[in-house]
């Protein structure tokens, strides 16, 4: 009988799968109980309640609170728009939680609501921090890793590829993609311009803007909010200009990024400026100066006092020239102090200061205090008014070497511009060592460079300009058969994005002080034409001549020289 019972007894079920399901069911029952407990607690405390399990939390909302702070306070930002920020906390009564809510309210000028959640709900939401790409890490800047750039660059061989790829990536990746494409193409600025039906993406490469992509209008608000969030701009402010900044951390360098937003007819447009940290290694020899101009400037910057003034319009490379001179002069035996607006690049071993109108720290006030710091060399970012000009000139006359910039068309316009500011003529003449006129021209891409023939009219014009170079200038072209000169251009290739140009170089004219110029200054009636005539008679190579010499050497094109120097070619 017992044997029969044993035979008929059902086998014991010990399936791991059933045990797993049972465990999950018990866990869910426990979780549901905790949610019920949290709901009751919210009701008693008059708090709003939410269960974040399954709730779609955007990365942009999540990173409003750092991961460390979220873990410490059991606090999550689970919803964020321009008009509403919602926080969820296990203990919403904590003073620190209320402080964060108030700060977010102040920073974004928007309504902030606090919800109560369970511990389980918090842990579920907290796991989402692990899914945030490096670009969203809460650091002193934004991180785009070298791997990110390599990943994006693989799909961007031409500008057309960028527009195609923008249609396939997320909002966050759209910004990373644009910045990666900009760094790959060596763009100095990214212009995001709103129009009626589209947002145009344009890169400024080697001084010229190129339309590279388009963003769908419906996607622009999210991308704009992402840019504002990273750059520290007010997200809900859209009717006035704003300025911000952040940093991109690459493997071997940092890129300082300046962001400017501007309200336009079709919404906000944004300009992003990229400042590469490695460009701070400016080389005096790499500026593009050579021959007599190079030797002249090298002598003038070695003098213990006086002024070196570089001139030209915005974007002509004046700041680059100043930094290159500072790098040349930088040594343990000299104290160098700068005052800039803004500090564009950090230079090792040099004391740099930045103007701040809000604290009345202007060029004039800053320069007045810098002189008391016993410097050997002073750099003034720009002379804008009489007060700054007079302090700089007095510093140059009292044993300091002062280098600065001035907005004029060429070197010949320097003295007339200072006198127009009402600087005393008897101070100008002994203070100035050298005046530099400059522009930047694009260099021919060496990968697709080819020889070309100029049309007869252009070639005759080039020969006429170059034949005016004085023999005493020491330039080899003065003794050459000008009719045998060869010229080049770039055909366009993948390396230069089909532009035929890659990088830029300066074209210069160096005017040094001499007795004839001093007499003209002291006479009090100085014109640019008189200044230029005297300088040319003294052997000065003009900017247009320097540019055409570089074209004859295959560095740039004749077309590029005439484009950049068009406002000064009429004097030749």
How confident is the model over 461-472, as pLDDT tens digits?
Answer: 999 999 888 765
CB 469 within 8 A of CB 548: no
Per DSSP, the chain holds a count of helices (H) and strands (E) of: 21, 20
pLDDT of residue 21: 55
- Range from 70-74, 287-291, 382-386, 434-438 carrying the lowest mean pLDDT: 287-291
Residues 6+ apart with CB under 8 A from 23: none
CB 434 within 8 A of CB 545: no
What average pLDDT does this structure show over 246-250?
77
CB 498 within 8 A of CB 158: yes
pLDDT of residue 181: 85
What distance in Å separates the CA atoms of residue 229 and residue 565, rounded to the nearest whole number? 41
How many CA atoms are closer than 13 Å to the CA of 118, on its beta-carbon side? 17
Query: In order of start, what are the domains of the chain with their CATH numbers?
Result: 33-132 (3.30.300.160), 142-277 (3.30.450.90), 281-571 (3.40.50.300)
Of 351, 421, 430, 355, the C-alpha closest to 394 is 430
pLDDT of residue 5: 47
What distance in Å separates the CA atoms of residue 533 and residue 540, rounded to the nearest whole number? 10
Q: Model confidence at 22, in pLDDT bands (50, 70, 90)?
A: very low
- Range from 6-20, 225-239, 302-316, 507-521 carrying the lowest mean pLDDT: 6-20
Phi then psi dihedrals of residue 473, to 5 deg: -70, -15
SS3 state at 537: helix
Long-range contact pairs involving 470-475 (C-beta distance under 8 Å, separation at least 24): 470/536, 470/539, 472/539, 473/291, 473/292, 473/539, 473/541, 474/291, 474/292, 475/291, 475/292, 475/541, 475/549
What distance in Å separates the CA atoms of residue 136 and residue 551, rounded to the nearest whole number? 46
What average pLDDT does this structure show over 365-374?
92
Tokens (6 digits) for 323: 């930094």
Phi then psi dihedrals of residue 209, to 5 deg: -85, 140
SS3 state at 204: strand
Over the stretch 558-567, which tens digit does the pLDDT of each residue have?
A: 999 999 986 5
Has residue 428 got a pLDDT over 80?
yes
H or E element that contains 414: helix 414-420
H helix intervals, 9-94: 16-45, 59-62, 67-73
pLDDT of residue 487: 95
pLDDT of residue 356: 86
- Range from 103-117, 289-303, 363-377 carrying the lowest mean pLDDT: 103-117
pLDDT of residue 507: 95
Q: Model confidence at 164, in pLDDT bands (50, 70, 90)?
A: confident
Mean per-residue pLDDT over the chain, rounded: 85
Over the stretch 524-546, which tens digit does the pLDDT of each residue have?
A: 778 888 999 999 888 899 999 99
What distance in Å separates the CA atoms of residue 381 and residue 393, rounded to the nearest whole number? 14
> What is the b/e burial string over 388-412, where b = at least 16 CB atoms within 10 angstroms of the residue's CB?
bbbbbbbbbeeebbbbbbbebbbbb
Has residue 115 got a pLDDT over 50?
yes
Tokens (6 digits) for 427: 């101070």
Residues 6+ apart with CB under 8 A from 523: none
Phi then psi dihedrals of residue 232, to 5 deg: 80, 30
Of 193, 237, 233, the C-alpha closest to 215 is 193
CB 376 within 8 A of CB 366: no
94: DSSP letter: -
pLDDT of residue 16: 61
Has residue 20 got a pLDDT over 60?
no
Task: Report residue 99 CA to chain centroid gap.
Answer: 34
505: DSSP letter: E
What average pLDDT does this structure show over 307-314?
94
CA 392, 397, 400, 401 dihedral sign is positive
SS3 state at 474: coil
Residues 6+ apart with CB under 8 A from 255: 183, 247, 248, 274, 275, 276, 277
What average pLDDT does this structure show over 153-178?
74
Has residue 481 got a pLDDT over 90?
no
Residue 49 pairs with which residues in a beta bridge? 116
What average pLDDT does this structure show over 473-477?
60
pLDDT of residue 286: 87
């Amino acid at each position: 009988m017992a044997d029969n019972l044993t035979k008929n007894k059902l086998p014991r079920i010990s399936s791991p799968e059933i045990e797993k399901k049972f465990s999950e069911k018990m866990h869910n029952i426990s979780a549901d109980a905790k949610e019920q407990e949290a709901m009751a607690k919210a009701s008693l405390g008059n708090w709003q309640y939410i269960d974040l399990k399954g709730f779609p939390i955007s990365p942009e909302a999540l990173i409003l609170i750092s991961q460390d702070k979220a873990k410490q306070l059991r606090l999550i930002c689970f919803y964020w728009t321009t008009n509403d920020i919602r926080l969820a906390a296990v203990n919403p009564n904590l003073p620190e939680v209320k402080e964060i809510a108030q700060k977010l309210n102040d920073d974004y000028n928007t309504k902030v609501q606090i919800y109560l959640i369970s511990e389980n709900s918090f842990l579920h939401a907290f796991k989402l921090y692990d899914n945030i790409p490096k670009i969203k890490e809460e650091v002193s800047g934004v991180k785009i890793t070298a791997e990110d750039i390599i990943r994006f660059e693989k799909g961007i061989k031409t500008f057309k590829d960028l527009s195609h790829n923008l249609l396939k990536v997320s909002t966050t990746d759209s910004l990373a993609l644009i910045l990666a494409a900009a760094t790959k193409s060596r763009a100095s600025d990214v212009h995001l311009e709103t129009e009626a039906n589209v947002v145009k993406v344009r890169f400024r490469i080697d001084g010229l803007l190129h339309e590279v992509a388009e963003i769908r209008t419906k996607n622009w608000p999210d991308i704009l909010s992402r840019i504002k969030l990273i750059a520290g701009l007010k997200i809900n402010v859209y009717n006035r200009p704003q300025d911000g900044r952040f940093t991109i951390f690459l493997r071997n360098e940092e890129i300082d990024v300046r962001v400017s937003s501007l309200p336009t007819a079709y919404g906000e447009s944004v300009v992003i400026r990229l400042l590469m940290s490695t460009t701070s290694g400016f080389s005096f020899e790499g500026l593009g100066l050579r021959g007599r101009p190079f030797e002249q400037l090298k002598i003038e910057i070695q003098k213990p006092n006086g002024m070196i003034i570089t001139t030209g319009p915005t974007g002509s490379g004046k700041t680059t020239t100043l930094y290159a001179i500072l790098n040349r002069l930088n040594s343990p035996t000299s104290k160098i102090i700068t005052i800039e607006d803004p500090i564009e690049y950090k230079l090792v071993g040099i004391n740099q200061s930045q103007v701040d109108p809000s604290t009345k720290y202007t060029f004039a006030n800053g320069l007045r205090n810098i002189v008391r710091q016993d410097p050997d060399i002073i750099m003034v970012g720009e002379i804008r008014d009489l007060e700054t000009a007079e302090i700089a000139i007095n510093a140059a006359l009292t044993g300091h070497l002062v280098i600065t910039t001035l907005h004029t068309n060429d070197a010949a316009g320097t003295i007339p511009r200072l006198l127009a500011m009402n600087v005393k003529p008897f101070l100008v003449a002994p203070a100035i060592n050298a005046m530099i006129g400059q522009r930047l021209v694009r260099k021919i891409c060496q990968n697709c460079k080819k020889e070309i023939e100029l049309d007869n009219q252009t070639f005759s014009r080039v020969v006429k300009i170059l034949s005016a170079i004085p023999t005493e200038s020491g330039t080899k072209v003065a003794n050459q058969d000008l009719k045998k000169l060869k010229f080049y251009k770039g055909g366009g290739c993948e390396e230069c994005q089909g532009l035929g140009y890659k990088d830029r170089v300066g074209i210069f004219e160096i005017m040094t002080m001499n007795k004839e110029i001093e007499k003209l200054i002291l006479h009090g009636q100085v014109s640019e034409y008189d200044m230029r005539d005297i300088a040319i008679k003294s052997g000065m190579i003009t900017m247009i001549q320097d540019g055409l010499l570089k074209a004859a050497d295959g560095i740039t094109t004749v077309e590029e020289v005439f484009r950049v120097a068009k406002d000064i070619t009429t004097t030749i």
